Structure 1
Amino acid sequence: MSDLKKMYRTLTHDPFPNEMTLTLGDQKLTFRKRTWEIEGEEKGLRYGENPDQPAALFELADGSLELEGVAFRAAGEGLVSALTEEHMLQAGKHPGKINMTDVDNAMNILQYLTAKPAAVILKHNNPCGAAWTDEGVAVALERAFRSDRIAAFGGAVVVNRPLDEKTAEIINSAYFEVVAAPSYEGRALEILKGRKNLRILEIPGLSELEKLVGTPFLDLKSLTDGGIVAQLSFRNRILSVEDFIPAEAEKDGNHFIARKPTSAEAEDLLFAWGVEAGVTSNSVIFVKDGVTTAIGTGEQDRVGCAELTIHKAYTKYADLLCFDENGCSLYELKLKAKTDEAAAKTLADIEARTKEAKAGLKGSVLVSDGFFPFRDGVDVVMAEGVTAIAQPGGSIRDWEVITAVNEASPQVAMVFTGQRSFKH
């Protein structure tokens, strides 16, 4: 191929029919393909996960599903799949599958964060930064972005309150591919349209996500042999701090119980568990004052996930110091430091301050999507200054993990969620 860039600019032919029907026993669901008229042409998804994968977006248009008394989300409740030209305020290069699924997963997270203005930045269907605050979406987005400005590059920004001019200016100060909000205020839309390739979506349902909580959707996973696994979607049982379960265990006639979190710690754990619903397992999330301080995703072992997440946090924290103080990335400074003595001294100073601050992790709480099978993962995160932990519980070594937090000085709090939050 003479010009590799063409593969990203070329639209993939869509071979899919306009309608798809799914029959489950005596219940039928009818889906219709979503397309848009853009620049005088009818266009569907740009392409699938990769440019050479044709793809189509289908909306549940008719029918409802109930299994053993559990009612599923029904026709007429669409969000991403219900987007029309009216909602696509600027198509940019017009969306592909990844853009849509990033926005969708943001809403999966935000349905549990409706109590406050919140912002989530998604990249490859995982959050790289999230925050909520009573100070408004601009502050939430700024904090989410600064928690990991490296991964945010080229990501999707989704907020759960009307997007104002200040928030638009923050978005325009960096490179994003997609922005979605329930509505846009003042000159916000005009500011955002300064980026011609930015996909700008208006999704009114973002302001009513609490209506989704508790009602599952039919979650279908396709197998490589053409088979399908059908499951109910994840339903978060931790909707308030009162839903956490005291961390207790029995071993050889001994009773072990962990310290209860403070109200501030419990609030951060609640936020973190909401974000956890959208993170690929194995995962851990560090949070402090309503902001993710580190997010670890998709690792094979829990202690390894904790260690890699901490490593990432140190890199991101040092990079932010470098960018704020020197106007360049950490990697650019490291390259310069190889031949420039002054740059080498600057780098050493940044690394020393990052180590001293424990990369901003000190004082964070932590959630884990699965139980800790050993105390090693807990010991690793407590060494960075974590003060409270929420995890599913249910391990035969819960007593050992509770012992670990009780031995910490000061004592670290722990609660159980009573459910696992795996996502594959």
Structure 2
Amino acid sequence: MRALISVSDKTGIVEFAKELEALGIQILSTGGTYKKLKEEGIKAVEVSEVTGFPECLDGRVKTLHPAIHAGLLAMRGKEEHMKQLEELHIEPIDFVIVNLYPFKATILKEDVTREEAVENIDIGGPTMLRSAAKNYQDVAVVTDPADYEKVLGELKGQGQVSLDTKFYLMQKVFMHTSNYDTMIADYLKKERKDTALPETLTLTYEKVQDMRYGENPHQKAAFYREIGKKKGSIVDALQLNGKELSFNNINDTNGALELLKEFSEPTVVACKHGNPCGVGSADNIEAAWDKAYQADKVSIFGGIVVVNRTVTAYMANEMSKIFLEVIVAPAFEEKALEILKGKKNVRVLQLADIEVPQNENAYDLKKVNGGLIVQTIDSKLLEEADIKVVTDRKPTDKEMEDMLFAMKVVKFVKSNGIALAKDKQTIGIGPGQVNRIWAAKQSIEHSRELISEEASAGSVLASDAFFPFDDCVEAAQEGGITAIIQPGGSIRDEDSIKKCNEYGITMVFTGMRHFKH
């Protein structure tokens, strides 16, 4: 039996090759792998001795030869195949141990050139893997050092690798090469600055962890990360305390972080079940925390808190008084971390680049039965040139400040969504309603239940989409709301404008909708 070994990742390869050699398996090899094995005393045969053809073109051509691929693809149970091998003086190859040029490591380097990236696209390796995998009944093909022990165990115990294991290894090959090709295609797309949605979409992710369960205990789940540097993303966060993150923790925390990125001033965002429940901005982060907490003391229980400044000891002490699932910040005072670690279950994450936004061309994916719908992320809030005051009364500077604050929040509220704000603090949020008036009424009711009967008086209202009727203005007037910001665009806009003028409410159109389903 013969084994062809050519690996970029040389983890465990010397030990594996020695074990194969001890079992009487002849080793064929190339390039750096051949040199490494020979240095370790393994009697490897160079591939060029098998092909009768030297490596050429700076090593670009080594294994692309019939003497290799016929040896891989010949079906041992097919008499005609074996007769042809004999006539061509080609011996079968029974094992292929190959992993590919380090394309991922290359493109992750700072200032990598296109030429360097392209040079690290493996050609011979994927070709050998595919040939061997196609003939999996006769060839055991190993791409992952983690499988060396499994293969050796079967060889020693049974004298051969089982068909089931060969089939498993075949599957891993095509997952490996698919991942590799997708990385290359994605790199080239970005290198060309191609922002179009492609005709065919292939995505690749690497598993970070398996999870105990998904959204519910009966669902399987795992966490995967995109390949590349993802600053400001939860995949790059360093966990300092607490239990392993759950499916819902990750999903909810991601939503909270995306809202937080809308703000540059000291801001705290509290989220529950994917919706913001309390948001506060202030001149300092402690005051911002107080605002976010006071906005909804009820819903924050069991929620997610994300912070864009260093968490202080004061904040940590206040946070420790309630049950929180996750706390994320760019840094923690030493005393603050000591306090939070006193709560063994709270998941404390440090995310140094918490303010870095997603690339505006990043994909937002939603799986549907039998397909996938894809869009670019909702990366904009509004265009300043499109802001239009449509009422007789213009907003004050303070009202405009609060309206922009509220619009940032409602952008991340499930539709139909309404957010009330005053003094850069949310005071009532109406998320996920099937009509807009219910969302408006709910936000006002929440402000009265959670803060005070008069909380909504003097506040502003932001809506993620236009008002289909003037009933939302009626509700706003009853709640004492003085300013409204919404996209506009309804055929009944004039009804809402007239009603605002009647009540002295100022209203601003942004021209940009923010549905979130």
TM bucket by the smaller chain? 0.7 to 0.9
- Say which of 344, 349, 352 aligns to 1:196: 344
CA RMSD of superposed structures (Å): 2.1
Tell me the CA shift for residue 244 of structure 1: 5.7
Are the equivalent residues in 2 in contact too, given 1:142–1:170 (CA < 8 A)?
A: no
- 1:380 paired with 2:475, answer yes
Q: Which AA in structure 2 matches 1:397? A: R
Are the equivalent residues in 1 in contact too, given 2:272–2:303 (CA < 8 A)?
A: yes
- 1:89 paired with 2:248, answer no
- 1:98 paired with 2:248, answer yes
Aligned partner of residue 291 in structure 2, secondary structure = helix
Unaligned runs of 5+ in 1: 1-16, 36-43, 62-74, 249-256, 318-353
Q: Deviations over 1:317-367 (max 9, x none)?
A: 3xxxxxxxxxxxxxxxxxxxxxxxxxxxxxxxxxxxx44x2xx11010010
- Say which of 433, 436, 444 aligns to 1:310: 444
Q: Deviations over 1:362-394 (max 9, x none)?
A: 010010011001111111112111111000000
- 1:273 paired with 2:407, answer yes
Indicate the percent of aligned positions where both proteins have the same amino acid. Answer: 38
- 1:147 paired with 2:291, answer no
- 1:419 paired with 2:507, answer no
Tell me the CA shift for residue 77 of structure 1: 2.0
Q: Which AA in structure 1 matches 2:367? A: S
Distance 2:201 2:221 in 1: 26
Tell me the CA shift for residue 129 of structure 1: 0.4
- 1:77 paired with 2:226, answer no
Change in 2 beyond 3 A, CA 1:303/1:27: closer
Change in 2 beyond 3 A, CA 1:243/1:123: farther
Distance 2:386 2:319 in 1: 35
- Say which of 471, 475, 484 aligns to 1:389: 484
How does the TM-score come out when normalised to structure 2?
A: 0.60
Distance 2:216 2:251 in 1: 13
Distance 1:236 1:190 in 2: 38
Q: Tell me which residue corresponds to 1:40.
A: none
How does the TM-score come out when normalised to structure 1?
A: 0.73
Tell me the CA shift for residue 78 of structure 1: 4.7
Q: Tell me which residue corresponds to 1:125.
A: 274
Q: Which structure 2 residues correspond to residues 197-236 of structure 1 after superposition, within 5 A?
A: 197-206=345-354, 208-209=355-356, 211-212=357-358, 215-223=360-368, 225-236=369-380
Q: Which structure 2 residues correspond to residues 155-194 of structure 1 after superposition, within 5 A?
A: 155-194=303-342
Q: Tell me which residue corresponds to 2:259.
A: 109
Q: Which has the higher helix share?
A: 2
Tell me the CA shift for residue 311 of structure 1: 2.1
Distance 1:243 1:185 in 2: 41
Are the equivalent residues in 2 in contact too, given 1:282–1:299 (CA < 8 A)?
A: yes
Are the equivalent residues in 2 in contact too, given 1:122–1:152 (CA < 8 A)?
A: yes
Change in 2 beyond 3 A, CA 1:99/1:139: same
Q: Tell me which residue corresponds to 1:252.
A: none
How many residue pairs are counted as aligned between the two chains? 327
Q: Deviations over 1:30-71 (max 9, x none)?
A: 311113xxxxxxxx334211122111111111xxxxxxxxxx
Q: Which AA in structure 1 matches 2:507? A: M
Distance 2:348 2:333 in 1: 14
Q: Deviations over 1:163-204 (max 9, x none)?
A: 111111111121111100011123111010010100000111
Unaligned runs of 5+ in 2: 1-171, 186-197
Distance 1:288 1:166 in 2: 24
Are the equivalent residues in 2 in contact too, given 1:238–1:270 (CA < 8 A)?
A: no
Q: Which AA in structure 1 matches 2:302? A: G
Change in 2 beyond 3 A, CA 1:177/1:399: same
Are the equivalent residues in 2 in contact too, given 1:57–1:81 (CA < 8 A)?
A: no
Are the equivalent residues in 2 in contact too, given 1:34–1:81 (CA < 8 A)?
A: no
- 1:34 paired with 2:34, answer no
Aligned partner of residue 34 in structure 1, secondary structure = strand
Are the equivalent residues in 1 in contact too, given 2:213–2:219 (CA < 8 A)?
A: yes
226-235 vs 286-295, which moves further: 226-235
Distance 2:222 2:301 in 1: 26
Distance 1:401 1:222 in 2: 37
Change in 2 beyond 3 A, CA 1:382/1:82: same
Aligned partner of residue 293 in structure 2, secondary structure = helix
Tell me the CA shift for residue 144 of structure 1: 0.8
392-401 vs 229-238, which moves further: 229-238
- Say which of 361, 367, 388 aligns to 2:456: 361
Change in 2 beyond 3 A, CA 1:171/1:259: same
- Say which of 26, 48, 64 aligns to 2:214: 48
Distance 2:201 2:444 in 1: 48
Tell me the CA shift for residue 106 of structure 1: 1.2
Q: Deviations over 1:145-168 (max 9, x none)?
A: 111111111001100111111111
Q: Which AA in structure 2 matches 1:118? A: T
Q: Tell me which residue corresponds to 1:57.
A: 223
- Say which of 377, 390, 396 aligns to 1:262: 396
Distance 2:201 2:378 in 1: 22
Are the equivalent residues in 1 in contact too, given 2:360–2:376 (CA < 8 A)?
A: no
Are the equivalent residues in 2 in contact too, given 1:373–1:397 (CA < 8 A)?
A: yes
- Higher relative CO (CA 8 A, sep ≥ 6), structure 1 or 2? 1
Distance 1:236 1:260 in 2: 24
Distance 1:200 1:273 in 2: 29
Are the equivalent residues in 2 in contact too, given 1:284–1:367 (CA < 8 A)?
A: yes
Q: Which AA in structure 2 matches 1:246? A: K
Q: Which AA in structure 2 matches 1:388? A: A
Tell me the CA shift for residue 137 of structure 1: 1.6
Distance 1:108 1:163 in 2: 19
Q: Which AA in structure 2 matches 1:245? A: I
Structure number, greater radius of gyration: 2
Aligned partner of residue 400 in structure 1, secondary structure = helix
Q: Which AA in structure 2 matches 1:423? A: K
